[in-house]
């Protein structure tokens, strides 16, 4: 008998979002379509819809965050949910209370969703295995493992700019080894069927056997960028690096930093992406980050719509219809 995915309920609907891995193409497209219907909410005079009125969303961020935390909070509020942010540094966990005890106390307060960001890989899965049946869990980044909503907002940004995924050549450049974003992007892009997916980095920042995920490995930036439709730059995860994996940031930029000259080998209409935060002059030149081919700020805006979609779908709502959203 096939074991049911932790992410889905008995009817096969999305209950948690913990990872992109295992999601079918139709499910990813469903999330993107739902997010598309929420784009207009941010353009309305009253930026709210009533889909999650009466629901309580708890942001549990054990790691520092600005964009992710803010966009999750905005997404929940635009869905009319009540939002609770736990200050981990002053919570009872500092006094010795276990994580699961804290969760069960929050459940007793009739909370409906936990958005979890944690430095340990697998933390969101652990929480999802122990929450009450009515509670949903969204992984907002766990260690070096996964960041599913970041990958989904990246897919929405690509689709809005490029249309179909099938013809595209995509290059992911940077710290593949330590990037949870890269792992989630690779699973999303291969599931959506891009023509070619390249990972570009020095040998010390490429994980073993990454080719098994369906990517082409490049150690030369010009080779990796040549005729690419989409260029995704990654932050150097210095806080997760152990040992001297790079000679220096200056040396890294000299070989793998994205400049206008290097971008010129990609297609003329290539778009440039970065999940943030940006280290200017390390991964990317300011002239590119702020240039006409950059869609970095669009990624941030699209993140709100994607997180609205995931929240509404995991809490048991059907995919949103544009007309219903606007009417709300």
What does the pLDDT read at residue 39?
94
Q: Among this protein's residues, is 95 annotated catalytic?
A: yes
Angle at 17 between CA 214 and CA 274, to 5 degrees: 55
Q: Which of 78, 117, 125, 180 is catalytic?
A: 117
Q: What are phi and psi of 117, to 5 degrees?
A: -125, 125
What does the pLDDT read at residue 98?
78
Least confident of 39-53, 77-91, 160-174, 203-217: 77-91
Q: Which of 16, 34, 55, 68 is catalytic?
A: 68
Q: Among this protein's residues, is 25 annotated catalytic?
A: no
pLDDT exceeds 60 at position 215? yes
44 token code pair: 């309305």
Q: What whole-number percentage of the chain has pLDDT above 90? A: 70
Q: Which of 8, 67, 162, 240 is catalytic?
A: 67
**How long, in residues, is the chain?**
328
**9-57 pLDDT tens trace:** 888 889 999 999 999 999 999 999 999 999 988 888 888 999 999 999 9
Q: Which of 3, 45, 95, 203 is catalytic?
A: 95
Q: Does residue 261 sit in helix, strand or coil?
A: helix
Q: Among this protein's residues, is 198 annotated catalytic?
A: no
Q: Among this protein's residues, is 147 annotated catalytic?
A: yes
Q: Which domains does the chain have, with CATH numbers?
A: 25-146+301-327 (3.40.50.1370), 148-295 (3.40.50.1370)
* Cβ–Cβ < 8 Å for 113, 311: yes
**273-304 pLDDT tens trace:** 999 889 999 999 999 999 999 999 999 999 99
Instruction: Residue 96: count other Cβ atoms within 10 Å of its Cβ.
Output: 7
Helix axes 123-130, 99-108, angle to 10 degrees: 50
Q: Among this protein's residues, is 117 annotated catalytic?
A: yes
| Sequential DSSP letters for 274-310 | --S---BTTTB-HHHHTSTTB-HHHHHHHHHHHHHHH
**Distance between CA atoms of residues 278 and 289, nearest Å:** 8
Q: Which of 55, 125, 145, 147 is catalytic?
A: 147
């Amino acid at each position: 008998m096939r074991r049911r995915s932790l992410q889905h309920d008995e009817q096969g609907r999305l209950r948690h979002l913990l990872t992109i891995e295992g999601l079918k193409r139709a499910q990813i497209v469903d999330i993107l379509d739902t997010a598309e219907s929420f784009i207009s909410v941010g353009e309305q005079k009253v930026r709210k819809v009533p889909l999650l009125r009466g629901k309580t969303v708890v942001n549990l961020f054990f790691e520092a965050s600005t964009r992710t935390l803010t966009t999750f909070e905005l997404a929940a509020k635009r869905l009319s949910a009540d939002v609770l942010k736990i200050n981990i540094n002053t919570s009872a966990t500092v006094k010795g209370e276990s994580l699961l005890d804290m969760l069960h106390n929050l459940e007793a307060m009739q909370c409906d969703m936990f958005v979890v960001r944690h430095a340990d890989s697998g933390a969101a899965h652990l929480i999802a295995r122990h929450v009450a049946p009515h509670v949903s869990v969204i992984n907002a980044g766990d260690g070096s493992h996964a960041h599913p909503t970041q990958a989904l907002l990246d897919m929405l940004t690509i689709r809005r700019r490029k249309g179909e995924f099938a013809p595209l050549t995509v290059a992911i450049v940077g710290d593949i080894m330590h990037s949870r974003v890269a792992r989630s992007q690779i699973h999303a892009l291969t599931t959506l069927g891009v023509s070619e997916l390249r990972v570009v980095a020095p040998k010390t920042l490429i994980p073993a056997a990454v080719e098994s995920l369906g990517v082409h490995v490049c150690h030369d930036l010009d080779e990796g960028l040549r005729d690419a439709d989409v260029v995704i730059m990654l932050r150097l995860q210095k806080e997760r690096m152990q040992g001297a994996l790079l000679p220096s940031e200056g040396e890294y930029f000299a070989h793998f930093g994205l400049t206008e000259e290097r971008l010129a080998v990609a297609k003329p209409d290539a778009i440039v992406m970065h999940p943030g935060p940006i280290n200017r002059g390390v991964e990317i030149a300011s002239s590119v980050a702020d240039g006409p081919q950059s869609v970095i700020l669009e990624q941030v805006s699209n993140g709100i719509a994607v997180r609205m979609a995931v929240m509404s779908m995991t809490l048991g709502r059907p995919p949103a219809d544009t007309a219903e959203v606007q009417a709300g």
